[in-house]
Amino acid sequence: MSHLRKPAVAGAFYPAQPQQLAADVHAFLAAVPRTGEKPAPKAVIAPHAGYVYSGPIAASVYARLLPTRGRITRVVLMGPSHRVAFKGIAGCTADAYETPFGPLPIDKDAYRRALGFPDTGILDAAHEQEHSLEVHLPFLQAVLGPFSLVPLVVGDAPPELVAQVLEAVWGGPETLIVISSDLSHYLDYETARSLDHAACQAIEHLDGGALRDDQACGRIPVKGLLSIAKRRGMTVETVDLRNSGDTAGPKDRVVGYGAWAFCEPARDAKIAPEESERIRAQASLLLELARSAIESRLSSGQPAAMPDPLPDLLRQPGAAFVTLKLDGQLRGCIGSPQAWRSLGEDIVDNAQKAAFHDPRFPALSTEEWPDLELSVSVLTPPVPMDFRDETDLLAQLRPHVDGLIIEDDGRRSLFLPSVWEVLPTPKEFLSHLKRKAGMAEEHWSPSFKASRFLAVELKNS
């Protein structure tokens, strides 16, 4: 029997009767002025108060998602904990979140990825009475139709952890990120307007460091999103900024609300020449870091110490693959398709995993070590591809340029651009990548997804 997280604030923050709830939500959405066609946001920030107070502000950004109905099939919903004090980020054991509109299944596979970091885990108590997630669900159901849910409650956590978790479940066009936050609390109208305007400026400038503790109850997840948005070159638009004195309350003690839409840049996978040069200028350091990590494990069983001081390049978030070859044959290859930790940490960990934990090979021996060839590939963020069918996808692939990630029916696999050296045609490249993912070479379906990326490859022998 399914375990449901039952509504906790239906009848208080929003109507408990489906008919009345539907009427209210649709009325809020219908009242949003139409401003012409705009790109659908990848992520939004929206408030979580009672609908009479914050419903119009939430509706202003959710209306942007109406054209995506049927296309967005997963929502990552993250909000602050109001009732339970804890450290980190919490999921729950429920199989679904229930609302008056019906249950929303929880994406357990996404949970496994999201909750694989230190200070993340399951804490049902954080979800049971928490309203910061629940109040968004009827809006999302009305706008998107059916979708799976990744509900995450944030306690005392660094924004960097939020960013890591979000990156792990970022997905492609099928995934929407929703960050739940109100703004200032219980100030007079003019003071609240001033404080909320400053918070708005911080969000518009993607400057999490400028967001103060008293400016947003969801400041930690907001800061995590701002970090990712800045790294990914996203644009942000303030859709609405008001407070309860503007909607349904007195003006002597108000709560602030804002709504923001974040869009990913419409771009192909590319890397700026100066960024490529910066990485290549540190080639010897990156390669030595990987080699030292393996050599240290071979000699002492311990990872190598990180350089001190650590260069900026290694301290910044980065994604890398480490590839090992022996006599020209693959001997191990492990990496990260997306940045979720510092580049230095990523290289050290993936070097050790390629040498000792690649399931296709036995652990590297000391006898093999002197003849080992090593390369490090630093990846750009994956960019989802838009294609009609397999023929269209093949036509878009750029041999010896693109790395490729494919995903369908729970199967996923990746080829680095270097694989073009042995699979030189798009048809061969894609067919072998399907086989690597456990798909048949002729496999195709409407849900087939592909993303491409570039890589700066650094070689050593």
Mean local confidence (pLDDT), 184-207: 96
Residue 231 binned pLDDT confidence (cut-offs 50, 70, 90): confident
Q: Which pLDDT belongs to residue 266?
A: 59
DSSP 106: B
The CATH code that applies to domain 4-263 is: 3.40.830.10
Helix, strand, coil percentages (3-state) for the chain, rounded to 5, are 40, 25, 35
The rounded distance, in Å, linking the Cα atoms of 411 and 439 is: 8
167 three-state secondary structure: helix
Residue 267 binned pLDDT confidence (cut-offs 50, 70, 90): low
Phi, psi of 361, deg, nearest 5: -135, 155
Q: pLDDT over 90 for what percent of the chain?
A: 79
The rounded distance, in Å, linking the Cα atoms of 67 and 239 is: 17
Residues of the chain with CATH 3.40.830.10: 4-263
- The residue among 24, 115, 131 whose CA lies nearest residue 82 is 131
Mean local confidence (pLDDT), 229-250: 93
Could you please report the per-residue DSSP string of 204-270?
A: HTT-GGG--GGG-TTHHHHHHHHHHHHHTT-EEEEEEEEEHHHHTS-SSSEEEEEEEEEE-----S-
Q: Which pLDDT belongs to residue 269?
A: 60
Mean local confidence (pLDDT), 126-133: 98
Q: Which pLDDT belongs to residue 443?
A: 95
445 three-state secondary structure: coil
Residue 245 binned pLDDT confidence (cut-offs 50, 70, 90): very high
Mean local confidence (pLDDT), 58-81: 94
User: In the predicted model, what is the mean pLDDT of the chain?
Assistant: 93
Mean local confidence (pLDDT), 344-373: 95
- The residue among 206, 229, 414 whose CA lies nearest residue 319 is 414
**Residues 6 or more apart in contact with residue 318 via CB below 8 angstroms:** 339, 342, 343, 346, 378
Q: Which pLDDT belongs to residue 361?
A: 96
According to the per-residue pLDDT averaged within each range, which of 87-91, 262-266, 285-289, 382-386 is highest?
87-91
Q: Which pLDDT belongs to residue 3?
A: 93
Amino acid at 262: F
Residue 353: its H or E element: helix 343-356
Between strands 254-263 and 449-453, the pairing is: unpaired
Residue 302 pLDDT more than 80? no
Is the domain defined by 273-378 classed in CATH 3.40.50.150? no
Q: Which pLDDT belongs to residue 112?
A: 92
The rounded distance, in Å, linking the Cα atoms of 243 and 255 is: 5
Mean local confidence (pLDDT), 174-180: 96
Q: Model pTM? A: 0.64
Measured from the Cβ of residue 445, the count of other Cβ atoms closer than 10 Å reads 9
Strand partners, 373: 325
Q: Which pLDDT belongs to residue 385?
A: 86
- The residue among 80, 85, 166 whose CA lies nearest residue 131 is 80
Residues of the chain with CATH 3.30.1490.150: 383-458
Residue 106 binned pLDDT confidence (cut-offs 50, 70, 90): very high
> Contact 216/255 with Cβ under 8 angstroms?
no
The rounded distance, in Å, linking the Cα atoms of 361 and 358 is: 6
> Out of 40-44, 306-310, 393-397, 417-421, which region has the weakest mean confidence (pLDDT)?
306-310
> Out of 127-131, 173-177, 383-387, which region has the weakest mean confidence (pLDDT)?
383-387
Q: Which pLDDT belongs to residue 244?
A: 97
pLDDT in tens, 204-214: 999 999 999 99
Residues of the chain with CATH 3.30.700.20: 273-378
Q: Which pLDDT belongs to residue 353?
A: 96
Amino acid at 86: F
Between strands 148-154 and 74-80, the pairing is: parallel
The rounded distance, in Å, linking the Cα atoms of 281 and 316 is: 16
Residue 144 pLDDT more than 90? yes
Residue 116 pLDDT more than 80? yes
CATH pick for 383-458 out of 3.30.1490.150, 3.20.20.70, 3.40.50.800, 3.30.70.260: 3.30.1490.150
Order of strands, edge to edge, in the sheet holding 96-99? Answer: 4-5, 96-99, 102-105
